Structure formats: C-alpha cells, structure tokens
C-alpha cells in the first residue's frame, strides 16, 4: 500500500496521543487506587459498588443502633439487678420480721429499712437514659412510669429497633414486667411489706411472703429475657460487623484496582509511549532529510 510522508507522521502522532492517554488513565488509576472513578468507567460495576455502599450504610447504621440498644439493655438490666437485690433483701427482712422473736419496734426499724429500699427501687424503675427517656415507660417514655406508690402508669409497648430492612430487635422492656401482668406488682408489694412491718402486722406480713417468692422469680425471669435480648443484640451486632467487612471487600473488588497489575500495565504503557515518541521523532527526521 502506498503510504505518504504526511500519513506516516499522522499515524505516529496518533500513536503518541493514544499512548499518552493510556498512560494518563493508568497513572490516575494507580495514584487514586480507583478502577471505577466515574460511572462511565464501568457502569455495571459502579452501580453494584453503589448498591453495596447503600447496604453498608444501612449496616453501619444498624451497628450504631445496636450499640445504643446494647447500652440501653445493659442499663436496664443493671436496674433490674439492683431491684432483684432489693427484693431479695426485703424478702430476708420480711422473713425476719415475720418471726415471733421480733418485737414491734424491731419490725418498725425493718419497716423503715424497707421503705428506704422502696424509694431506691422506685428510683430504679423510673430510671432515665442519658437522653432523658424513662427506661421502663413503654412508649410513654417522656413520663415517669411509676407513681409514688409504685403503681405503673406507662404502657405495654416495648420499643424495637431495625437491624435491617426486615428485622428488628427489642431495645426496651416496658415496666409492665414489674406488674401483676407478669406476676405481682413488685413496687406496691414492697410498700405493703413496709406498711405491715411498721404496723407490726405479722399476719399481713406473712401474707406477702408468697408474693415475694413470685417477685424474686419474676425479676429473675425479666433479667433472663433481658439477657436473651442482649445476647441477640450482640450477635446481630457482630453479624453486621462481618457484613460491613464483606461489603467493603465487595465494593473494593468492584471499584478498586489491583495495584500490582495496574503498576505493571502503567510500566508497559510508559514504554509504549517512549517507543512511539522515538518512532515519531525518527519519521520526522527521515522526512526532513528527504526534503533536504
């Protein structure tokens, strides 16, 4: 085929431009670490990468929510543990007070002690989170759920939080677990024991002992439920940690470069550019000498 001097020069210049563009593209990939920097680099990979990013955002959001749920459940469990200790202590005092060896004044002292414990238990039951919500109020979380007598005024709606689009885990336990709906009204029970002790009402005191047994197992059961929830929250949190890691790897696979491979390609392209420049220069020299 007949090839003119102009054509040779054009082809050589086109080769230089092409190789320059290739080197530029690879250099940008190597320096940024991104294979897909803009959607047109690889539309399908870009969309999949973004989809992974969306799932990652939801998973990271779930981890934060689960951290918070963990803290809340742990806080609530601490309150229940304290109440369980109080009830257990009150049970001991009630058994002592019910024994014949105790005088009225001894019982009055015990009654004062129980009254103090009731105040502490009430404080626990009306415990608040750092952001001001009452832990055991159900959905009525801006109102103290137990009145001074220990009667529950909240509702039975526990709060769940989403761990993904379709799954939730419980974050709160309503104060109804401390009421007759789940055994006995624990706080009023403490009030009745205190009153009986102060009033030296031994038959009345003896009548509460059975309820105290129920209260002890009621709190144990509540704590077990709390433990189960905590464990579920922790497992879910761990699963989200793994999912986030997997999604990060997936996103990286889709949109990032293999540095070693890209560096090799860059070296190849740089060599190609040098060669095409040399060819271009030699064609120019050849044409010049032909005219001379």
Partner 1 sequence: MSNLLSLMNTGAAAITTQNAGIAVASDNVANINTEGRTRQRVDMEAVSGLGMFGGSVRAVGPQRYADDLLAGSIRSTAGSLSMSRAFAAALDVPLSELSSGKTIDQALSDLYAQFQSLSASPTDTVSREATIAAARALAEGIQRRAEAVDAAFAAAQERIEANTSDVTSLAKQIAAANAAVAKSGDPVAADKRDLAARKLAELVGGQARIDPDGQMRFTLDNGAVLVDGQRAAKMETTPTATGSRIEVVDGANRRDVTTSLTGGKLGGEVAARDQALAGARAQLDQLAFDVATNVNAIHRTHAALDGSTGRDLFVQPTAVAGAAKALTINTAIEDDPALLAVGTVGSGPGDNAGAIAMVSLSAQNVGAGGRTLGDAALDVIGKLATASSEATTDAETSEVLANHLDGLRDSISGVDTDEELASLSQFENVSRALMRFVSTCDSLLGSLIESL
What residues line the site for partner 1 (CB under 8 A)? 1-7, 10-11, 14, 38-40, 42-44, 46-47, 50-51, 53-54, 57-58, 60-62, 64-65, 68-69, 131-133, 137-143, 154-155, 157, 159-162, 164-166, 168, 171-172, 287, 290-291
What's the CA gap between 93 and 101, in Å, rounded? 13
Report the residue number, 171 or 201, with the smaller CB distance to partner 1.
171
Q: Which residues contact 60 (CB under 8 A, 6 or more apart)?
A: 240, 244
CB of 61 to partner 1, least distance (A): 4
CB of 49 to partner 1, least distance (A): 10
CB of 190 to partner 1, least distance (A): 26
Report the residue number, 103 or 165, with the smaller CB distance to partner 1.
165
Whether 290 and 84 have beta carbons less than 8 Å apart is answered as no
CB of 148 to partner 1, least distance (A): 21
What's the CA gap between 89 and 208, in Å, rounded? 14
Whether 87 and 219 have beta carbons less than 8 Å apart is answered as yes
What's the CA gap between 225 and 143, in Å, rounded? 24
Report the residue number, 162 or 210, with the smaller CB distance to partner 1.
162
**Tokens matching residue 130:** 């750092």
Dihedrals phi, psi of 132, to nearest 5 degrees:
95, 0
Report the residue number, 72 or 192, with the smaller CB distance to partner 1.
72
Report the residue number, 7 or 89, with the smaller CB distance to partner 1.
7
């Amino acid at each position: 085929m007949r090839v003119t001097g102009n054509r040779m020069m054009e082809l050589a210049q086109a080769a230089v431009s092409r190789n320059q563009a290739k080197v530029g593209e690879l250099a940008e990939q190597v320096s940024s670490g991104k294979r897909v920097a803009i959607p047109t680099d690889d539309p399908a990979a870009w969309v999949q990468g973004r989809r992974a990013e969306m799932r990652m955002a939801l998973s990271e959001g779930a981890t934060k929510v689960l951290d918070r749920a963990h803290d809340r459940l742990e806080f609530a469990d601490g309150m229940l543990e304290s109440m369980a200790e109080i009830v257990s202590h009150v049970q001991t005092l009630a058994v002592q007070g019910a024994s014949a060896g105790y005088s009225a004044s001894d019982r009055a002292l015990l009654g004062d002690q129980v009254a103090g414990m009731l105040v502490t238990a009430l404080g626990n039951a009306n415990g608040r989170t750092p952001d001001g919500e009452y832990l055991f109020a159900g959905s009525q979380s801006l109102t103290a759920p137990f009145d001074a007598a220990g009667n529950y005024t909240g509702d039975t709606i526990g709060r769940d939080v989403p761990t993904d689009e379709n799954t939730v885990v419980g974050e709160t336990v309503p104060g109804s677990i401390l009421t007759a709906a789940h055994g006995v009204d624990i706080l009023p029970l403490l009030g009745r024991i205190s009153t009986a002790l102060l009033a030296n009402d031994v038959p009345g005191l003896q009548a509460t002992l059975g309820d105290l047994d129920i209260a002890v197992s009621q709190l144990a059961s509540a704590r077990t439920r709390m433990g189960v929830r905590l464990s579920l929250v922790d497992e879910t949190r761990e699963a989200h940690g793994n999912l986030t890691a997997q999604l990060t790897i997936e996103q990286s696979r889709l949109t990032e470069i293999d540095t070693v491979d890209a560096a090799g390609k860059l070296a190849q392209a740089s060599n190609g550019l040098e060669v095409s420049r040399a060819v271009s220069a030699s064609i120019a020299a050849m044409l010049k000498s032909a005219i001379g």
